[in-house]
Amino acid sequence: MQPLALYNTLTRKKEVFEPLHAPFVGMYVCGPTVYGEAHLGHSRAAITFDILFRYLMHIGYKVRYVRNITDVGHLVNDADEGEDKIAKQARLAQLEPMEVVQHYTIRYHQDMQQLNVLSPSIEPRASGHMIEQIALIEEIIANGLAYEVNGSVYFDVPAYNQHQRYGKLSGRIVEDLLANTRGLDGQQEKRSPLDFALWKKASESHIMRWPSPWSEGFPGWHLECSAMSRKYLGPEFDIHGGGLDLMFPHHECEIAQSQASNHTDAAKYWVHNNLITINGQKMGKSLGNFITLRELFSGEHDLLQTAYSPMTIRFFVLQAHYRSTLDFSNEALLAARKGYLKLMNGLKVLDKINYPSDAEETGAQDLEMEKLLADCYRSLNDDLNTAKAIASLFNVLKKINSLYMGQVPVTSLSSSMFQNLKNTYRTLVTEVLGLTEERPDNLDQMLALLLKFYKDAKDVKDYAKVDEIRAEFKKLGIVIKDMKTGIDWAYEE
Ligand SMILES: [Zn+2]
């Protein structure tokens, strides 16, 4: 079996994954800016790196997964001007900025839990790492690659670009970038329009501010990821992940900051998930065409024909390779729901197949089954191709169903291969893909249905049946109440 290979944006090649310090793996992923509800676009990055996290652990690595919470410094306008996204939301809602942060952080965690996204090992906040960020700025200034103007500090891109290549990650060329930038409009402090803020002096009205050697102010958005990844994973670590929309300028700036302080590209492998589109357009809060996860779960949005469960969303994301675009549509989500339920029914059926203890094992199908299971791993090892892995699982499922229906005798698999099939299918579906069973929450309807059977039995005076139903209910802690007005149930006190 070939080893895991990942597409590295930095080298533009699929590369065999070789961690710097096996069996340990350090992975950093840019987390949410907590100023609004998580939407479908957020779920893709979260689920993509959840699968990578799960798969790395599954194949035996000890992973430290750091995903940050951006709670300061992410400005409404990415050109280092404009209001802080969180402060703006706080002003609109008349809240303390940290109330906004707390509110949306909790909701983000709830949404992720619903999607069965594992918690990262460490979830650092930008506002809790001011000391580290200030120290990093001081290092970059000392190395001659940043300068202070009026209490703000900027990264000197042209100076950096003399020795390193600003644009190495995104493939952009400084000369082209300069030709396409509109002067220094409103950014007079910068020496070059490509320079980016490491520290901004806070204006009178700016609420979120911290003391620093240069002014009372706040750090630039790109800085926090460099400071926090270095603190928890070291100056060079294995994987840096995020959405494709973060590749430039955010990740490009992170690499520049890391080279200017640690002389490393921060991570060995830079991994980017593609975006979710809606009618071919990027889905995003700033574009106003997004559907929040909660709206998807409840179905309350003009674009939604129905509600879609968290596992349906998870399957929808997984049935495309993370580097392909994924277009939202009701048809695609309905198909995802079917696909997800198929895999779940496979789990149920597998548990019901009994391997006869006294039968003769032929093992005639062992080789074929082994090949089908290996296909699943081959796809995952090939740049985490969950789309192909799911297709392979459906092939396994066909075999499972033919065993269940008795079209193929179970003994055509040796007992050890049958056990292997059971374990592998369950592990891949539930632990690696992270798909769990969603029990229907229609308990009230189910109870009403059972009470109707009770009433039917009473109507035909089938007292044996009546007693039996009563007894079964009692075992569940429920008593049936026969009243003049009808039949009801209550908890047994
Ligand atoms: Zn980041």
21 and 113 in a common domain: yes
pLDDT at 78: 59
- What distance in angstroms lies between residue 243's CA and the mean position of ligand 1's atoms? 10
- What distance in angstroms lies between residue 376's CA and the mean position of ligand 1's atoms? 32
244 and 177 in a common domain: yes
254 and 106 in a common domain: yes
232 and 352 in a common domain: no
pLDDT at 182: 66
- What distance in angstroms lies between residue 326's CA and the mean position of ligand 1's atoms? 23
Give the total number of structural domains in the chain: 3
447 and 421 in a common domain: no
- What distance in angstroms lies between residue 169's CA and the mean position of ligand 1's atoms? 14
- What distance in angstroms lies between residue 254's CA and the mean position of ligand 1's atoms? 8
From 337, 325, 290, select the one nearest 42 (Cα to Cα): 290
Mean pLDDT, each 10-residue run in order, the chain (493 residues): 95 98 98 92 96 98 97 72 82 85 96 98 97 98 97 97 95 89 69 94 88 96 96 98 95 98 98 92 77 96 95 98 96 97 96 90 94 98 98 97 94 96 98 94 87 94 94 93 90 91
- Identify the domain boundary among 243, 273, 303: 273
214 and 250 in a common domain: yes
Q: What is the dihedral of CA 114, 99, 136, 68, to 10 degrees?
A: 0
- What distance in angstroms lies between residue 361's CA and the mean position of ligand 1's atoms? 55
Take residue 33 and report the two structure tokens written for it. 């800016």
Please check whether residue 307 is in contact with residue 297, taking contact to mean a CB–CB distance below 8 angstroms.
yes
Residue 360 lies in a domain: yes
339 and 460 in a common domain: no
Take residue 428 and report the two structure tokens written for it. 């891949």
Q: Which domain holds residue 462?
A: 443-491
242 and 97 in a common domain: yes
- Identify the domain boundary among 432, 460, 475: 432
Residue 1 lies in a domain: no
pLDDT at 185: 54
Residue 372 lies in a domain: yes
Query: Which residue numbers belong to the known binding site?
Result: 30, 225, 250, 254, 285
Q: What is the dihedral of CA 205, 208, 210, 214, to 10 degrees?
A: -50
- Identify the domain boundary among 229, 245, 273: 273
- What distance in angstroms lies between residue 225's CA and the mean position of ligand 1's atoms? 5
Please check whether residue 227 is in contact with residue 221, taking contact to mean a CB–CB distance below 8 angstroms.
no
- What distance in angstroms lies between residue 192's CA and the mean position of ligand 1's atoms? 23
Please check whether residue 408 is in contact with residue 365, taking contact to mean a CB–CB distance below 8 angstroms.
yes
Residue 406 lies in a domain: yes
239 and 105 in a common domain: yes
Q: In terms of DSSP bridges, do strands 146-149 and 152-155 run parallel, antiparallel, or are they unpaired?
A: antiparallel
pLDDT at 77: 64
Take residue 364 and report the two structure tokens written for it. 């005639």
449 and 387 in a common domain: no
- Taking the C-alpha atoms of residue 455 and residue 317, their distance in angstroms, rounded to an integer, is 46
Task: Provide the CA 171 distance to its chain's centre, in angstroms.
Answer: 26
- Taking the C-alpha atoms of residue 433 and residue 346, their distance in angstroms, rounded to an integer, is 14
Residue 260 lies in a domain: yes
- What distance in angstroms lies between residue 316's CA and the mean position of ligand 1's atoms? 25
- What distance in angstroms lies between residue 451's CA and the mean position of ligand 1's atoms? 56
376: amino acid identity, one letter: C
SS3 65: strand
- What distance in angstroms lies between residue 32's CA and the mean position of ligand 1's atoms? 9
Core vs surface per residue 287-310: b (16+ CB within 10 A) or e: eebbbbbbbbbeeeeeebeeebbb
- What distance in angstroms lies between residue 253's CA and the mean position of ligand 1's atoms? 10
Residue 38 lies in a domain: yes
- Taking the C-alpha atoms of residue 211 and residue 209, their distance in angstroms, rounded to an integer, is 7
86 φ, ψ to 5°?
-75, -45
Query: Which residue numbers belong to the known binding site for Zn(2+)?
Result: 30, 225, 250, 254
Residue 47 lies in a domain: yes
Q: What is the CATH number of the domain that holds 356?
A: 1.10.730
Residue 279 lies in a domain: no
Q: What is the CATH number of the domain that holds 155?
A: 3.40.50.620
195 and 328 in a common domain: no
- What distance in angstroms lies between residue 42's CA and the mean position of ligand 1's atoms? 14
- What distance in angstroms lies between residue 354's CA and the mean position of ligand 1's atoms? 50
Q: In terms of DSSP bridges, do strands 237-243 and 267-273 run parallel, antiparallel, or are they unpaired?
A: parallel
- What distance in angstroms lies between residue 447's CA and the mean position of ligand 1's atoms? 50
Query: Which residue numbers belong to the known binding site for ATP?
Result: 285
Take residue 252 and report the two structure tokens written for it. 């490009």
- What distance in angstroms lies between residue 222's CA and the mean position of ligand 1's atoms? 6
pLDDT at 95: 84
pLDDT at 168: 96
- What distance in angstroms lies between residue 294's CA and the mean position of ligand 1's atoms? 25
- What distance in angstroms lies between residue 343's CA and the mean position of ligand 1's atoms? 35
- Taking the C-alpha atoms of residue 425 and residue 444, their distance in angstroms, rounded to an integer, is 33
244: amino acid identity, one letter: L
108 and 238 in a common domain: yes
